[in-house]
Amino acid sequence: MASPIRSVPLTTSPRALRAAHTTALITLTAGALLTVTTLAAPARAATPPAVASSVTSPSQAAAAPTVAAKGALLLDDASGATVFEKDADTGRRMASTTKIMTAAVVLDARNLDLDREVTVQQAYRDYVAANGTSTADLRTGDRLTVRQLLYATMLPSGSDATYALADTYGTGATREARTASFIAKMNTKAAELGLADTVFASFDGIGADTTTPRDLAKLAQHAMDNATFRTIVKATSHKSTAPAANGGTRTYTWYNTNQLLGSYDGVTGIKTGTSTPAGLCLVFAATRGDKTVVGVVLNSTNQYADAAALLDYGFGTSTAKTMKLRQLPAGAQRD
């Protein structure tokens, strides 16, 4: 049986406030110039494989959409009601959508200082090169703030930035121990959020990290309760400067790999993910008027078309028919 969908009890979050209302009624200066650009109703039992189901409202006249994703879910954010589901409780690989949890663990840390500086280690660049992962092209010896590392994690999906966060917020005498500790924190947070079908094996999604659409939607709702997270994931690009290794200043520019953002009106995030085992994955959220929906597609062949179809269904619109995807600059990361 599917586990019930429930909102995270943070009463100051926009979602909680809406729910309450509903129920009550990244140049070198110092001589040189260098710019680095890289470029409710309770949830129901899982439906049979490849069969989609939905909970509709009277305003939804259209038939439930057909999606290519092997697993999908769309939730009404305020009430937690299931609007659409397809194998929403089947565990699947999640690729870089794992980084939502990385960000959540950092943002939930006690006495968090977003302006804390972290020195980029060569090990972070070596990790990207060894694993062929997406990168924020962080330069060894540069000092970036935690806030900048969160942008570098969530926009270009930089595993170098994600490694830096895990190394900083894990505990232990060695880098290996600290990253292992951080992954353990990710799993502890999953348990706290009731994500019974989610297991994290890496800090960036290159491991055998698995989840279900329902669990991933719950995680997304929790992350979106944080104002810093919301600000980061809704940005199509981000440019900032950091102290460089030679004492100068480096400018970093990152572009959001989520092409649904800026293409479908109302989309506010959240994260892409792509790997051979996972297929194309996307976690997304959108608001139109006073309605917000959160969705997940896992192992798709066209994640943006799937997401747009689900959003049209949720909002009772036909935007997907004319949607043109925001194009990424040449050299920008794809994930």
The catalytic residues are: 96, 99, 157
Which of 273, 242, 317, 299 minimizes the C-alpha distance to 28? 242
**Rounded Cα–Cα distance for residues 102 and 117 (Å):** 18
Tokens of residue 269, six digits: 């995030």
Query: Distance between the two ends of the chain, CA-based, in angstroms?
Result: 32
**Rounded Cα–Cα distance for residues 297 and 68 (Å):** 9
Secondary structure class of 169 (helix, strand, coil): helix
Question: Cα–chain-centroid distance for residue 16?
Answer: 20
Give exposure, 53-83, as e/b (b: 16+ Cβ within 10 Å): bbbeeeebeeebbebbbbbbbbbbbbbbbbb
